[in-house]
Amino acid sequence: MDFRLKVFHSVATNLSFTKASKELFISQPAISKHIHELEVQYKTPLFDRVGSHIGLTHAGELLLSHTKQLLAAYRQMDFEMNLLTDNFAGELRLGASTTISQYVLPPVLASFIKKFPEIKVSLLNGNSRDIEQVLREGKITLGLVEGTAHQSTLHYTPFMRDELVVVAHTGSSLAAYDEISLKQLRTLPLVLRENGSGTLDVVEAALAEHQVKLSQLNVVLQMGSTESIKLFLENSEVLGIVSIRAVTRELMSGRLKVIEVEGFRAERMFAFAEPQGQNGGVEESFIRYACQNWR
Give the domain-ending residue among 18, 52, 84.
Answer: 84
Cα separation, 8 vs 97, in Å, equals 28
Are residues 179 and 222 located together in one domain of the fold? yes
Are residues 150 and 279 located together in one domain of the fold? yes
- 253-264 per-position pLDDT tens digit: 999 999 999 999
Are residues 166 and 235 located together in one domain of the fold? yes
Contact present, 196 and 128 (Cβ < 8 Å): yes
Cα separation, 272 vs 158, in Å, equals 6
Q: In the predicted model, is pLDDT for residue 121 greater than 80?
A: yes
**Which CATH number goes with the domain that contains 132?**
3.40.190.10
Are residues 213 and 282 located together in one domain of the fold? no
The predicted structure's pLDDT at residue 79: 65
Are residues 167 and 255 located together in one domain of the fold? yes
Range of the domain at 167: 161-267
The predicted structure's pLDDT at residue 91: 85
Q: 51: phi > 0 → left, psi -120 to 50 → alpha, else beta; which? A: left
SS3 state at 53? strand
Are residues 133 and 146 located together in one domain of the fold? yes
Are residues 276 and 251 located together in one domain of the fold? no
Are residues 238 and 107 located together in one domain of the fold? no
Cα separation, 183 vs 192, in Å, equals 17
Q: Please give the tally of structural domains in the chain.
A: 3
> Which residues, at least 6 apart from 228, have a Cβ–Cβ distance to it below 8 Å?
none
**Which CATH number goes with the domain that contains 8?**
1.10.10.10
Q: In the predicted model, is pLDDT for residue 11 greater than 90?
A: yes
Query: Does pTM top 0.75 for this prediction?
Result: no
The predicted structure's pLDDT at residue 77: 76
- 139-186 per-position pLDDT tens digit: 899 999 986 557 788 889 889 999 999 999 999 999 999 999 999 999
Residue count of the chain: 295
Alpha helices in the chain (DSSP H): 3-14, 17-24, 28-42, 58-83, 98-103, 105-115, 128-136, 182-187, 198-208, 226-233, 248-253, 281-293
Give the domain-ending residue among 84, 110, 139.
Answer: 84
- 46-61 per-position pLDDT tens digit: 999 888 889 999 999 9
Cα separation, 199 vs 193, in Å, equals 7
Give the domain-ending residue among 43, 59, 84.
Answer: 84
Are residues 194 and 248 located together in one domain of the fold? yes
The predicted structure's pLDDT at residue 260: 96
The predicted structure's pLDDT at residue 87: 61
Write the DSSP symbol of residue 15. T
Helix, strand, coil abundance in the chain, percent, nearest 5? 50, 25, 25
The predicted structure's pLDDT at residue 295: 61
Are residues 227 and 276 located together in one domain of the fold? no
The predicted structure's pLDDT at residue 292: 83
Are residues 80 and 95 located together in one domain of the fold? no
Q: In the predicted model, is pLDDT for residue 234 greater than 70?
A: yes
**Which CATH number goes with the domain that contains 177?**
3.40.190.290
Q: In the predicted model, is pLDDT for residue 211 greater than 60?
A: yes
Are residues 165 and 155 located together in one domain of the fold? no
